[in-house]
Amino acid sequence: MTEQRRSGTGTTLAGFAVLRVAIKREPWIFAASTIGSLLFGALTVADAWVLGWATDHVVLPAFEEGKVRSGLLWAVLGLFVGVAILRAVGIVARRLGAGVMQYRMQAHTRRAVTRQYLSLPMSWHQQHPTGELLSNANSDVEAAWGPIAPLPMAVGTVAMMVIAVVQMLVADLVLAVVGLLVFPLVIATNVVYQRLAQGWATRAQQLRAELSEVAHESFDGAMVVKTLGREPEETARFRVKAEHLRDANVRVGRIRAAFDPTLAALPSLAVLVVLVIGVHRVLSGATVPGDVVTVTYLLTVVSFPIRSIGWLLGEFPRSVVGYRRVDAVLRATGSMEYGDAPAPAGGGGARLEVDRLAYSYVPGRRLLRDVSFDVAPGRTVALVGATASGKSTLTNLLTRLVDVDDGAIRVDGVDVRDLERGALADVLAVVPQTAFLFDDTVRGNVTLGAEVTDDDVWAALRIAQADGFVAALPAGLDTRLGERGTSLSGGQRQRISLARALVRRPRLLVLDDATSAVDPEVEARILAGLRESGTGSTLVVVAYRKATIALADEVLYLADGHVADRGPHEDLVARNPDYARLVNAYESELGDRAELSGEVLPS
């Protein structure tokens, strides 16, 4: 925190660097809004000239002569009205341009962050909490481009300030110098503010991400929270983060609350000093009243640029922090490299080859090592192994959610790393262990925007044994399923998720325990339907139940990070006691559950 407070000047420079990025991307909008601001600034200064001219040529002569010349009065009125109209045009151009520029930059950055999220591998996402990613794409983006709103006004008012200062020097050099002594004080005030605010602004942005993460976890785990009666604890956890965020924002607010009025008071004090000195100079004959009025008014005009620049600089601490957090995402490495090979062509199932595959989550501790096997087109292979044996990791590698450390995975002889972006998805589909459904209709959840007919959707639902309960829904395919499909049971969600994969007619289908919530009899019908559907898809199934394993042409038994044995289920049971013990233990557990629930387990 101390080091951050020492970086006031660095924050100001970094803030201008962030704005330079926006100006380079939207130069024409910035130019239009700046021209409007320059017009506003120039005409605001013109008010001072009109006021001084009116004082010397209309007001003072009127006191001396006892009457007002109507021609001069109408001239002054016309000048004021003309200046006001043109100044209003400048204000509209300035505000409209600044708003458009700010929202365009926010939209562009959010799209860039989202594209980066999609391109980064799952290994990167596993290291970054969801709440932090949401904060990067939302509050950090808004904070980064917050200074754009006052930017054109600040640029225009700088020009206004330059014109005003020149006019002040021309009117009365002594009074101008006295009035301009306010600028060193403004600079010193800004440096102090940047140093004090930077650390707390950084803390506040980080707490926003942490608060979002707590809320996201609580919403995702609503069932656990409710069923275990953890509402008070979750509320307390959220309250602690919210109070810390409140305290950080209050600290920033207090600093800003002291900065803004100080910045506004300095020009006013300068005006008082100029008036006192100006009166003495008029009495001594060193200047005329019109020049004192002009300098005084111009000094009040200069106070507005000072405040507008203060508004700009006041946004810099949050802007710099937000931009750095967003930039860290955009610069993140680990994105997958793609080749230029198209999706392997052909009908029926695809050939899968895994050659000496190795993978580790922690360097030096390999979860999978020297894994090699092949699956002939149209064949069904079951992956069986104890918990944490690497089955789900292997499915992630097959679908290239993550890349292997060593070895290769080939589909129809082509290394998946050589395929062009999106080509693997044209060949392969995966049904994960946890079925995720969107707050959409049944049709929308199955197609996910794919151009398929309703007949194709119903065909996929039939194979997944989901057509019966979908037809019984109030609106059939048009029934909305609610967030995460909460209106369906776990088994129904899994079958919708399976139909989503089947409707794409994949040549290679990977099922990661995708029917664990489905009745064993229904699961058997699903797997039989997959084999009899005529699609000829190659199947890789993570399985536990004997009935499921028995339907596979071959079983791969994973143990200690490698393929410990392989072959038909009956042969493995006969020759491998560890494998037999594993599948029998699971079947025994399944039978106990069925007995407790009063169900009859199918043979």
Q: For 447-469, what is each residue's pLDDT tens digit?
A: 887 778 888 888 888 888 888 88
Residue 87 predicted with pLDDT over 80: no
The Cα 199–Cα 527 span in angstroms is 59
Residue 259 predicted with pLDDT over 50: yes
**Residue 121, Cβ neighbours under 10 Å: how many?**
15
The Cα 520–Cα 590 span in angstroms is 10
**Residue 454, Cβ neighbours under 10 Å: how many?**
12
Residue 58 confidence (pLDDT)? 64
Quick one: DSSP state of residue 409? E
Share of residues in the chain with pLDDT > 70 (%): 72
**pTM for this structure?**
0.61
- Which residue, 596, 593, 601, 570, is CA-closest to 583? 570
Please give the average per-residue pLDDT across 186-214, as a whole number: 71
Residue 576 predicted with pLDDT over 80: yes
Dig out the tokens for 95 from the structure: 């505000």
Q: Summarize pLDDT for 45-61 with one digit per residue, the tens.
A: 666 666 666 666 666 66
Tell me the three state secondary structure of residue 120: coil
Quick one: DSSP state of residue 345? P
| Cβ atoms 118, 64 nearer than 8 A | no
Q: Which residue has the tokens 């008070």?
A: 232
The Cα 255–Cα 192 span in angstroms is 10
Kindly report the average pLDDT of the chain as a whole number. Answer: 76
Helix, strand, coil abundance in the chain, percent, nearest 5: 65, 10, 25
Residue 59 confidence (pLDDT)? 64
| Cβ atoms 157, 42 nearer than 8 A | no
Cα dihedral 47/48/54/60 (nearest 10): 150
Please give the average per-residue pLDDT across 591-598, as a whole number: 45
Residue 224 confidence (pLDDT)? 66
> Which has the higher per-residue pLDDT, 189 or 496?
496
- Which residue, 177, 178, 175, is CA-closest to 287? 175
Residue 260 predicted with pLDDT over 80: no
Residue 598 predicted with pLDDT over 60: no
Dig out the tokens for 499 from the structure: 């139909």
Residue 361 confidence (pLDDT)? 77
User: Which helix or strand (DSSP H or E) is residue 406 part of?
Assistant: strand 406-411
Dig out the tokens for 335 from the structure: 């994105």
Alpha-carbon distances, residue 393 vs 242, 390, 531 (angstroms): 37, 5, 25
> Which has the higher per-residue pLDDT, 167 or 401?
401
Q: How far separated are the first and last CA of the chain, in Å rounded? A: 67
The Cα 261–Cα 176 span in angstroms is 23
Alpha-carbon distances, residue 312 vs 158, 190, 496, 599 (angstroms): 12, 11, 52, 70
CATH fold of 352-597 reads: Rossmann fold (3.40.50)
Helix axes 289-330 and 27-54, enclosed angle (nearest 10): 170
Residue 594 confidence (pLDDT)? 45
The Cα 535–Cα 12 span in angstroms is 63
**Which residues of the chain form CATH 3.40.50.300?**
352-597
| Cβ atoms 565, 371 nearer than 8 A | no
Residue 565 pLDDT level (bands cut at 50, 70, 90)? confident
| Cβ atoms 342, 423 nearer than 8 A | yes
Residue 213 predicted with pLDDT over 70: yes
Q: Summarize pLDDT for 320-364 with one digit per residue, the tens.
A: 878 888 888 888 776 677 788 888 877 777 888 888 888 887 776
| Cβ atoms 494, 415 nearer than 8 A | no
Residue 596 confidence (pLDDT)? 43
Angle (CA) 530-533-536 rounded to 5° is 80
| Cβ atoms 335, 121 nearer than 8 A | yes
Helix axes 182-220 and 130-137, enclosed angle (nearest 10): 140
- Which residue, 379, 424, 373, is CA-closest to 394? 373
Residue 273 predicted with pLDDT over 60: yes
Residue 6 confidence (pLDDT)? 44
Please give the average per-residue pLDDT across 498-520, as a whole number: 78
The Cα 160–Cα 408 span in angstroms is 66
The Cα 472–Cα 493 span in angstroms is 15
- Which residue, 527, 491, 524, 523, is CA-closest to 509? 527
Residue 596, Cβ density class (10 Å: 0-12 exposed, 13-18 middle, ≥19 buried): exposed
Residue 515 predicted with pLDDT over 80: no
| Cβ atoms 427, 504 nearer than 8 A | no
Q: Summarize pLDDT for 370-409 with one digit per residue, the tens.
A: 888 888 888 888 888 887 788 888 888 888 888 888 888 8
The Cα 256–Cα 307 span in angstroms is 13
- Which residue, 85, 136, 129, 130, is CA-closest to 114? 136
Residue 545 one-letter amino acid: R
Give me the residues paired with residue 415 across strands. 410
Residue 182 confidence (pLDDT)? 67
Residue 533 pLDDT level (bands cut at 50, 70, 90)? low
Tell me the three state secondary structure of residue 294: helix
Dig out the tokens for 475 from the structure: 């609106």
Residue 5 confidence (pLDDT)? 40
- Which residue, 401, 271, 427, 411, is CA-closest to 336? 401
Quick one: DSSP state of residue 444? H
**Which residues of the chain form CATH 1.20.1560.10?**
2-330
Residue 597 pLDDT level (bands cut at 50, 70, 90)? very low
Lowest mean pLDDT among 127-136, 326-335, 539-548, 580-589: 580-589
CATH fold of 2-330 reads: ABC transporter transmembrane region fold (1.20.1560)
User: Which helix or strand (DSSP H or E) is residue 358 part of?
Assistant: strand 352-359
Tell me the three state secondary structure of residue 510: strand
Helix axes 289-330 and 231-283, enclosed angle (nearest 10): 150
Tell me the three state secondary structure of residue 598: coil
Residue 150, Cβ density class (10 Å: 0-12 exposed, 13-18 middle, ≥19 buried): buried
